[in-house]
Each structure stands twice: as structure tokens, then as C-alpha cells.
Structure 1
């Protein structure tokens, strides 16, 4: 156990997400589950709630169940980034699958982002959704050139905007000298994930969706009759015509087929104590989300509802205690943002994301059994989008077609949902990025 270091943490530091200060998860209504439902949704995150909302408004009887209180998982723990994000680059997809496929994928990524912003506006969800842009810091000259080629290709084939930022101009975007230039993408955005999820819960409740937390699914069994599935849970059993599995990084071994296809890993975040407004403006002048070009990214953003800086990094680092996480993240912050060396952390937290073996999100299903998961750091946008798409597929709407349903959902021989290899894999990525970049920040990541 690491002793608390109050030189870097506030005395009342919370080992809980900053978002919970204003939007803390709460227990759902109690009561028995109905014996039958048109659709049972497993998981009450963005995917499950977006699917449930469309289905309920189309007249389906929908029950959403979650192992924890709704919102306790990644939906109210993530960084709140909005954009067209994929671990596979446009150029990488073009080289492996062809230009048409790469263009199709990235066009859908943009559609996912744009439709999310429209949805939030139409539903009048007050969640600080804004298009303040993104700055991507290059951790080496080689990374800068790769970034420039990638964004140039995306602009050429899809017309999406960007601007390269030379090393001498970085301080116009972030108060640091650690990056070798970078790029701005002016139309990307961010939100308050707690308020967004709370808005989804409220609209689902108004649409008649039954939402039950503290209800663990122990089995999904196919059966005869119009209600094709028996869903067994710790709160009772119910039959359903369709079932959606939307558990992403919280998929348990009881959900065998899906648990063998997603790779859960821990992400880490922190929030600074309240800062002077002029210091926040100095650190991130345009209030953009900031990420770097490494595989295992570090990221920074201003809090949307206070004068704090939020940050994250060291993904899958194996840390468990609040003090251990605080030490690592404060070191990253102090090295990248020297003006914050003496600033303390008020919150640190962790949560589970999910990757896939092909680094692609997946959505699909057949004969009434559906899934959407594996977002690879893009859960807000892609979870919302693919939840909606799965609901459209259940309703027989041709608009439910998506490129993310086309490819098989791969697994690996002998994998059973416990990613013992993740710490070693992330260490390899850190070593690879550090070898290319050789910056102090990358050396810190590698240790």
C-alpha cells in the first residue's frame, strides 16, 4: 500500500470520478421483473440506452438490466471525448482493405459523431456538448509526419478539416514544450458524460423502459415459441423475443461468446483541484481536448463545468490504489504541463474499456440475439451510434445497415475473457512509442 502523498493530492481527494460530483449514479427502482418482454437489453450504458429508447418509442416493451447501478460503469467514468475515432488509421485500412472500404468506415465514423450531436440537441440533453476541437500532439518528428499524411488523406477523400501545427506554435494550443508539433481538428468535441447518461436514463424512463440495476444476467438460453429466449438473472427470469448484449468492458465470463471477443482493460483518470480561470486559459487556450500520437495515449481536457484540468493515461498499467494512480498521473501531468507541477489532484478514478482483436468495433446478431461492443477508446460516440443501429436492425429498418456489422467478430484460441496479456501488450506499445519518440514523457510511460 502506498502512503498518501498530500504534496500532490488534496486532503479530501476522492477515489471516484469527477463526473459523479454532479451526476452520481443512483439505484434504480426495485420490483419484480415482468415474465416477458419484447426486448431485454443487458447493460445500461450508452449502447443499451440508445437501443432501448428507439425500441420503446417504436412500441416495443423493453427491459434493461445491469449488474450494477445504472451509470456505475464506463458511461459515467470516461473522458467525454466526441469525434471520429478508430485505432486503425485511414491509411492503414486503405493499405489492408482498399480505398473504398477505408472511405466507407471513416464516413460512418463521421456520421456517428454528427448524428450524436444532432440527437443531443433534439433531445435537449444539457450535457455541455460542444465543438471546441481537438489538438493532437506529436511525440516525435516521425509521428508528426505520419499524422500529417493521415490527416491529408482523410481530407482528400472525405473533406474533413484539419490544420498542422508546427513545434514553435504548440503553445498556442497547450502550455507545453514536450510535443514536436501536432494538428488541430477544429470540429471535434466533448461533453459531460455523467449528464449525457443521466439524460438518456430520463428519456428512457419517459418512454416506458423498465431499468433494473443490481441485476446480474446468469444465462441466456434459446427456447421454442414466440419468446425465443429465457434470460436468467439474480432478480428472476424473464422471456424475450430479442436480447441485446451491450456490456463492452464489463462483459462477464457468464456471457461466454461475447466475453471471448472483447478485451477489457483499465483506464485511469484524474482531476486537478480548482484552478484560477486564467491558469486554465493558459494551459488550454482554446478549451480543446488534447491527446498525443502514441498508441497508449495521454490526454488532457478542461472540465466543462469548473476550472479544473482533467487528464488520463497509463492505460492498463495494473494500478489499483488511489495513491498509486495519483502518483503516476501527477507525474505525467507535471512533465507535460510544468505550470501544474505544484497543483494537487482532487479526484482519481479508474474504469474498464474494451478492445477487440482486430481493433474494430462490432455490432450485429441474428435470430434475435444481438450485440454492440468493442469500442477501442471511442465508447461515447460509437456506443451511442451502434446502439441505435442495432435497434434499427431489430425493427427491420434498412437504415440499420453498418460497416461494423460486416466482418466476423474475431477471438483468439484459448482466450476466455481474462486478458492476462494486456500489461505486457501496453508495455510493448509504450516501448515502441518511446523508441520512436524518445521524449521524457514516453520514457515515463515506459516505466
Structure 2
């Protein structure tokens, strides 16, 4: 818990993004009897699938158990990158060079797709190519980071600049890192406003939204799928499931392969003018070289700093970690001052996989896209378009992320009891890298 003296008078246990992009209940309450496509889940994947299909002339209904945008799409940090937990080198070594090249080519396409959508649709959401600073958690991590990025430059053509520890204050006012790297062409976005813009475009295209409605089952009815919901039933020729970390018993096959885990974030009070620039001179996004990362970014619309960490902890809610997150932020950025107050604290469910890779495909005739592993904004957007193209029979619907087996573990049925232990194992591994290096 956190001492109330460190909370602002208007503190909210809600995502910071909801201040400018609040959830709005849908006015449509009657579930249509049928549609060409039924989309379960109103996050980036579901929205982009719905929007693409509606513009192609399909009748589309989006069904969500909460209000539209309640899940991770309006809760995440809003980082725009093209990185996964698996490096290009690892993928090439384990799966072959053609596979590794194709994965990172699609990651790059996903990043640019978001940029193109924001520009072409005229969505005001503070999209910014601000660059990313990756802080090295040890000298050994710095060396490994430099080696990986140098290889990526040679093979993939991606640019970077190494920042030695002696110069790191020109990027971030901290001494906890042993230098780091800047990747200049990565970016950030206001995920709430981005999501809100996609919802508006989807409505304009004719998409029907049904919120506060749980899909209880998906069965077959001749050539159609029959969805039984808490508001009645609907027939659809095609079904898209885009629930990611919020996936439950609706698709047992999928439930056995998605690992839901919780991410936590806080927002600082409004800081004095110039304070953000003092601490984060280039206003980039910031994360670390370890697996169990902390991540920082300036708010795009105010003098505040947003911070996330302690991922996967098993606690009742974000207030149980708000105090610890505040202390951790002050350890990294002591210049914020010991009297720092928080204005927001929130959490959201992410979706991991046993192979640390996103997956897209069709199972039992149902299209799915899940397991973004911290790459939700670009990959969710990209996979939504891919699912729609697949339904439309377009060759562009192919993705390298559908070519590998989607693994599970014996006896796993969707209960992620092992996540806190796994995060501790990651910590041990990273400490060993630091020690051995």
C-alpha cells in the first residue's frame, strides 16, 4: 500500500490515458441476429479487423464483456517499437535465417503500419518518433546490447547509438545504469486516443458495438458460427477472437496457450515546468536490458512521468504496489524528490506465450491473434489487419507468425500460477549475466 500523503487530491485508480479518452458505454443494446463477422474483444486487434472488414463491405459486430476499450489497449504504456523477447540472432539460430528475417520484417511493418494509420486516418493521439533509450543494467548487459545492436545494424540495417555511462546523463538523469543505447526511429503514442480514434472510424464504417455482453460459447450451425452471449445469440460466417490477456474459457485450446499476467503503472503529479526535460532531456521512451523490465516515458500531454514495473506480481490491485513502484521510480530518478505524489495507479492484463512469440492463426474455424509479449500497440494493430485480410481471402493475410507451432505445457489450463516464480527466475538469470560478464 501507499501512504495517502503521496497521492494527489484528485488521485484516480484508473489509467492515466482515460482522462482524455474515457470509456463510453455503447448506445446499441440489441444484439443483431446475424452478421458476416463477429469480433470478440474491442482492443486494437479486434478494432482493426472490424474496421478493415467493414470497409470491404462486410457486416461486422464487435462484442465485449466490458465497455469498449476496457482492456489492455487503453491501459498500456504506448510504446511503438519492433522488438520481441526473442532477438533476431536467436531466431535465426534456432529457427533459420529466413524465419528470423521474416519475423523482423513484419515487426518493422507493424511499426510503420501504426504510423501510416495515424496519419492517413487523421487520428490525434500524440504519435511521436521520439527514439528509445535502453539502459544497461550491468557492464555485461551493456556489452551484450552493443553486440546485438551492431549485428542488427549489419544484417537488418537498423540504426543505433551507444551511450557510455559517462555520457548517459544527456539521455536520462540517473546513475543506476551502466550506459545504454538509443534507437532513434522508435516512438510513442497516446494509446487511449489512438484506440478512441479507431473506434470512431469503425463506427463510421458501419461496425456495430455491443458492450457489457459476454460471449459464453461459440458453436457451429451449418456454414455459420453460433455465438451464445448473455444478450442472446448471433450467427456469423466468420469469428475473430482478439481478447489476448483477457482470454478465458471461451476457447479452451487458446486458453491452454496464452499466459495472462498483470502489468502495473503509475503516473506522477504535474511536475514543475522544465522538470521532465531536466530528468529525461530528449523525452524518449525508456526501458532496460533485463527480462523483468522497468519502463519510463513522459506523458505526451502534460508535465508528468509515467512508470511501469513489477510485472507479474500477484496482488489484489494496483494500490498494493503503488508505494513500491513510487520508491522504484525514485531510485531510478531521484531528482523527482522525496515528496513526489502520484496522480494515477492502474493495472492491465497482458498476454504471454510459452515461446515468447506472438501468434496468429485459425483454430476450429475461429481466427485469433494473441501473445504480444509487450508489443501490443504495433502487433495488435498489425494482426487485426492480417486477420481481416485472411477472412477476405487476400494473399496479404499471410504472416510468418502463423507458421510455427503454438506450444503449451502439460497440465496447463490457463491458470498462470507460475508467473511470479518465472519473473524471479528471470531476475536470477540477469544477475548471473552481470556476475559472469
TM-score (norm 1): 0.95
The corresponding residue for 2:28 is 30
The corresponding residue for 2:343 is 346
The corresponding residue for 1:58 is 56
The answer to whether the Cα contact below 8 Å between 1:81 and 1:189 also exists between their aligned partners in 2 is yes
The answer to whether the Cα contact below 8 Å between 2:28 and 2:209 also exists between their aligned partners in 1 is no
Partners of 1:277 and 1:287 in 2: CA distance: 14
The corresponding residue for 1:399 is 396
The corresponding residue for 1:238 is 234
Partners of 2:315 and 2:332 in 1: CA distance: 21
Stretches of 4+ aligned residues off by more than 4 angstroms:
none
Q: Structure 2 matches for 1:179-328, cutoff 5 A?
A: 179-225=177-223, 228-328=224-324
Does 2:289 align with 1:332?
A: no
Q: Name the SS of the counterpart of 2:274 in structure 1.
A: helix
**Alpha-carbon offset, residue 369 of structure 1:** 1.5
The corresponding residue for 2:418 is 421
Equivalent residue for 2:43, pick from 27, 42, 45: 45
Partners of 2:99 and 2:427 in 1: CA distance: 30
**Alpha-carbon offset, residue 319 of structure 1:** 2.6
The corresponding residue for 1:167 is 165
Equivalent residue for 1:430, pick from 420, 427, 430: 427
Partners of 1:73 and 1:115 in 2: CA distance: 22
The answer to whether the Cα contact below 8 Å between 2:132 and 2:187 also exists between their aligned partners in 1 is yes
**Alpha-carbon offset, residue 99 of structure 1:** 2.2
Q: Which segments of 5 or more consecutive residues in structure 2 lack a partner in the other structure?
A: none
Number of paired residues? 434
**Alpha-carbon offset, residue 269 of structure 1:** 0.2
Pair 1:6–1:366, CA change in 2 (3 A): closer
User: Per-residue CA shift, 1:257-305, capped at 9, x if unaligned?
Assistant: 2111100000000000000121100111111000001101101000000
CA RMSD of aligned residues (A): 1.3
The answer to whether the Cα contact below 8 Å between 1:90 and 1:153 also exists between their aligned partners in 2 is no
**Alpha-carbon offset, residue 152 of structure 1:** 1.1
Does 2:111 align with 1:118?
A: no
The corresponding residue for 1:411 is 408
Partners of 1:45 and 1:67 in 2: CA distance: 12
User: Per-residue CA shift, 1:155-211, capped at 9, x if unaligned?
Assistant: 111111111111111111101011011100000000001000000110000000001
Q: Name the SS of the counterpart of 1:20 in structure 2.
A: helix
Q: Which segments of 5 or more consecutive residues in structure 1 lack a partner in the other structure?
A: 439-447
Partners of 2:330 and 2:368 in 1: CA distance: 41
The corresponding residue for 1:67 is 65
TM-score (norm 2): 0.97
Partners of 2:305 and 2:4 in 1: CA distance: 18
Partners of 1:430 and 1:114 in 2: CA distance: 33
The answer to whether the Cα contact below 8 Å between 1:219 and 1:232 also exists between their aligned partners in 2 is yes
**Alpha-carbon offset, residue 361 of structure 1:** 0.4
**Alpha-carbon offset, residue 85 of structure 1:** 1.9
Partners of 1:358 and 1:375 in 2: CA distance: 11
